[in-house]
Amino acid sequence: MPPLLPHLPVSESLPAIVTALAEENRAILSAPPGAGKTTIVPLRLLNEPWRGDGRIILLEPRRLAARAAAGRMASLLGETVGETVGYRMRLDNRVSSRTRIEVVTEGVFARMILEDPELPGIAAVLFDEFHERSLDADFGLALALDAQSALRPDLRILVMSATLDIDRIAALLGDPPIIRSEGRSFPIDIRYRDRPAGERIEDTVTSAILQAHATESGSILAFLPGQAEIRRVAERLEGRLDTGTLIAPLYGNLSQSEQDAAIRPAPAGHRKIVLATSIAETSITIDGVRVVIDSGLQRLPVFEPSTGITRLETVRVSRASADQRAGRAGRTEPGIAIRLWHAGQTAALPAFTPPEMLSGDLSNLVLDMAHWGVLDPKGLSFIDPPPAAAWNEARALLRLIGALDPSGAMTAKGRRMRDLGLPVRLSAMVLAGADEGAARPAAEIAVLLTEQGLGGTGIDIDERLRRFRQDRGDRAVAARKLAERLASGFAHRKGSASPSTAGSWTTGQLLLHAYPDRIALRRGGRGRFVMANGRGAEIPETERLAGADMLVIADLTGRAAQGRVLAAAEIDRGQIEVTLPDAIQRRDECFFDLASRQVRARRITRLGAIVLDEAPLARPTGPAATEALAEGVRQVGIGALPFSKAAEQLRQRVGFLHRTIGEPWPDMSDAALLDSIDSWFTPYQTNARGIDDLSPGALSDGLASLIPHGLQRELDRLAPTHFTAPTGQNHPIRYDGTEPVLAIRVQELFGLKSHPAIGGGKLPLVLELTSPAHRPIQTTRDLPGFWAGSWKDVRAEMRGRYPKHPWPEDPAHALPTTRAKPRGT
């Protein structure tokens, strides 16, 4: 018999869910916050015939949610966690041979299916809160669909969420049954309170909490973007509330006991104010909360493929997240949601939070897919395919550290790295540490950097490592056991039993194997560094590491050229030379000195973008100097080159033909010439060593080389340099616009009965007719029409202004001239 379950909104949908999974192997459940889907649905499926003795796997996005869901389901069965319902996560497992519902974090499931694609003993996989679209959830669903199609057609897959992009997910799953659970347990009154311009979010949240606390009953849940804001709000509330109100922070860095304390009901006669990040959006119920205050902000990781750095960015929440947050107020009684923005701004919020697939580091995904045997992301079904730039950068990194071969297949080293279950950089560090007899300290550093808050939040990793080793808390003990397990696989190597076996290897040296591109040299004052990847980094001047000459940076945040260091260790040049002997390169190089506009040479010692030492050399010659000069032209621009008038006219003529005809006439614009500089500039400037040394004749020869062979006569026919007037004089034709232009004194065209044209008479010239003083008097594209029309008005005006020059009544039949009238006429 199924267990006796409480009646919640999702209960009305249970028959449809049961029927869908009995008849199909895939289904989608859309249920609003508070509907009870996380706990009621798995329990209802326990007694379905298709389950047999197989386990039901329930995926949760966070450890807190996994523990809370398992605890709630176990209590409904009258059991303790670890019996029928258990959970499995990175640092904490509570399962037994009796466990039939196993709540796991999304990363744990991905490793489960990668280790054994057939998922033996598993009857169903339920993806809870799928709208959060973590990388592990997207990957886990893609793997489950692949395994179901090829190996396990009997495997049931149920995708559940409060806010789903139903159409896209249904298309991915092949249009399975869609069950919608309407309504929630209790109504929610949504109110808006606009944040004053310039006011810090901490001050707005504090004010809203104090007002709600004074006017409403029940506990309060306030959503803030991060730990720093939570701490500041807690400080502002200190001493301003009665003794019966408890303040409980809730964020990822807290210990399990601190997180569990935040979601427990307040003691009898007390109220609670929970200050939380997005961790409290889904899958947990904080008993007694009837007021939610939403800052409207969240902090999301954004990966920059070009630097390999993940930074945290504070952004507005999506409408889906705002609905999730509001739903926390109606879980156990009617509630109130106070949104700290103007009501009209809600419509402008993005519909959903961007999936991590589109903004995350894909290194581990690429490695795991190689383990699965898929080298192209198109080989798996993703809602959003991995972005090409991030995918290619991940592959490049994995090839660089030896995890993939040139074809993209996993190497033996890559398999060892993947087995560690760490971010790929840290896996590389642990393997390198093991080779040097330092597996244990390397593993400890890796765990420290992947478990936020262990050893504190200071910048100095050595200090955090010392505190971590001395910490006797449950989380630290579990983390040290994990590090011990990671290191135990290398027991046969040169010592890995304890931190002391690391010998002379320092934290910084070990981190070099993970972050060689983030070696940093102090430059520009205390606390200011430049990294090997070319990016700047800063440490507050009061920090000890601000005075270090060199660092290796494990974590930093911030935009553009200057990042803020979050975790680093000191290093010196000698340790770099021992640990990464190929990282520091010494070579002679030519470079363009922008100040003097000359090519110079130097002997340089370089670590990536960091110049460690340099010494000047004699002024260079030869191909290297020419290449450096070409780079200098890219810096100063085409406009700095001493083109002759003939060369400038050639550019205009050919450019005109390129614009009007296209191929085979080349583009000779500034941008095009910079793009093709190696073909027309470099081969013709072999003796120049500076901008001022450039030969105008060589520049002209270079431009001429761009014109395809045999087209010179065509160039002269289609775009001649000059027009020969009836007087016999040649006048230059301009080609700098969309039409060819001839500026000429009107007297030189007397007697001409047809309009001047080029290109075999097919392309009329634009005539800029000028006075004897070369001032414009008329622009025309129809000379015969001008003679017969407006010439009369021009003649009347010009005769009085220039009486010494001829102004005949019939210019079409007059003699052309360049002279004034003979004296006395």
Query: 141: helix, coil or strand?
Result: helix
The parts of the chain modelled with pLDDT lower than 70 are 1-3, 163-164, 183-185, 283, 306-308, 491-504, 559-561, 822-825
Q: Tell me which amino acid residue 640 is.
A: A
pTM of the model: 0.72
The whole-number pLDDT of residue 473 equals 87
Burial 234-261, CB ≥16 within 10 A → b, else e = bebbeeebeeebbbbbbbbbbebebbee
How many angstroms separate the CA atoms of 531 and 514, rounded? Answer: 14
How many angstroms separate the CA atoms of 316 and 297, rounded? Answer: 5
> Is residue 780 a contact partner of residue 786, using CB atoms and an 8 Å limit?
yes
CA atoms 480, 481, 482, 484: torsion sign: positive
**Residue matched to tokens 């009329």:** 764
The whole-number pLDDT of residue 497 equals 45
Burial 38-63, CB ≥16 within 10 A → b, else e = bbbbbbbbbebeebeebbbbbbbbbb
The β-bridge partners of 156 are 124
| Residue 454 parent element (H or E) | none
Degrees, nearest 5: CA angle 674-677-680: 130
Q: State the chain's maximal CA–CA distance in angstroms.
A: 128
DSSP H stretches of helix in 471-603: 474-488, 507-512, 573-579
> How many Cβ atoms from other residues are within 10 Å of residue 695's Cβ?
15
How many angstroms separate the CA atoms of 314 and 304, rounded? Answer: 16
> How many Cβ atoms from other residues are within 10 Å of residue 792's Cβ?
10
The whole-number pLDDT of residue 773 equals 87
Phi, psi for 118 (deg, rounded to 5): -80, -10
What value does the CA radius of gyration of the chain take, rounded to a whole number of Å?
37
| CATH homologous superfamily of 188-357 | P-loop containing nucleotide triphosphate hydrolases (3.40.50.300)
How many angstroms separate the CA atoms of 528 and 200, rounded? Answer: 28
> Is residue 208 a contact partner of residue 193, using CB atoms and an 8 Å limit?
yes
How many angstroms separate the CA atoms of 39 and 42, rounded? Answer: 6
How many angstroms separate the CA atoms of 502 and 146, rounded? Answer: 43
List the 156-161 sheet strands across, edge first.
Answer: 93-94, 85-88, 101-105, 55-60, 122-127, 156-161, 26-30, 178-180
The residues of the chain that CATH labels 3.40.50.300 are: 9-180, 188-357
11-31 pLDDT, tens digit each: 999 999 999 999 999 999 998
The β-bridge partners of 606 are 585, 611
How many angstroms separate the CA atoms of 344 and 353, rounded? Answer: 19
Q: Tell me which amino acid residue 282 is.
A: T
Residue 34 structure tokens = 């508070």
Nearest to 817 by CA among 806, 802, 803, 801: 806
Residue 202 structure tokens = 């901490």
> Is residue 571 a contact partner of residue 508, using CB atoms and an 8 Å limit?
yes
Nearest to 782 by CA among 762, 765, 760, 807: 765
What class has domain 9-180? Answer: alpha beta
DSSP H stretches of helix in 489-562: 507-512
Q: DSSP string spanning 77-124?
A: TT--TTSSEEEE-SS-EE--TT--EEEEEHHHHHHHHHH-TT-TTEEE
